[in-house]
Structure 1
């Protein structure tokens, strides 16, 4: 295993503990320009989340309204009622974001679009850095990076098409304690131009793991520096717990 990846896994709970975990639960409050414009009414303002650690599955509850929940699972998005009955579903939910069907999605997402985006993204966020140990992810250490008066170490990750994620190539930044501070990617379902710097702070301990609870996303400008505005997505996580 890459030495830096081993260090950051230890800082976030340790590889063996991650391997034994089954689900992460929490509460999420979401805002930002992207959510306000693509998801009318901000149906993601406040919801409970359950993420499977060992497979790509996320449940958002309630979503898009009380009595319904959004489910992302292995590339499929669906809306269920509280009893688990499927109300609507979409196989290969990523494909409609591209080509002619993607034109409408440049302005507005339906509930299945939003469930897909939030589902795969939150699965990525809440399983990182364990996500980087998957067999279909290649990692290498990059040059150190200076920001905010600190020196951060960087891991470059190359994801295969089998992993539902933002883009094939991403970069993760870790501070001197090995904690995740920044994550760069292209949010391809938003647009191939959507280069984003995703920041993480306010790390907390939960059942032997460490998670950042305050997150925000800014566009990347010249010199790989974030632009001061707008905040594309903001996330506030709470009530985190892990099951085994």
Structure 2
């Protein structure tokens, strides 16, 4: 399989964004093609449910704090040993291990949800873990296509990444791996069901004779 061709088909880094430049992770302008901006759009924010039928305001989504948090967390992941800010203070995770990566991933998703839901609570109903995982996993996928990402691939920073769960990947999962532990939409997934699916995907890719890469992020390019 020509992985480079699939990467370019998925995301053309026409602006030559660099994984080593924090300003290339997120921008506050309209139509941004930076990783965090693109991943936020992939989160399907248009499907947010209003908190009431007659809410005040124009319904605009407040996202600055949550997306800045993602920018800082991902930059630190690659450049500061997996340090992130959590409700319990600043923590560092062994992201070179599967267990450490999963802990980091859960902490980032949880804090992202906290910030996003707090800032939008007067207008929108709280979003679930399913939307957070989509945003976080897609940031990894875009950064994987950035200039300079090959170095971090070789060093193992993408080794334990998850597959972003959505309608497409869950349909593949049902056909090739197992029936999901829940019938709810990907956007409504809770953590328990989410991590069970990721564990099953890892086991399938590791033990499968299929031509898919054993890395879940890389396999997603072909799903």
- Kindly indicate which of the two structures has a greater share of residues assigned to helix: 2
Higher strand share: 1
Tell me, yes or no, whether TM beats 0.5: no
TM-score where L is the length of structure 2: 0.34
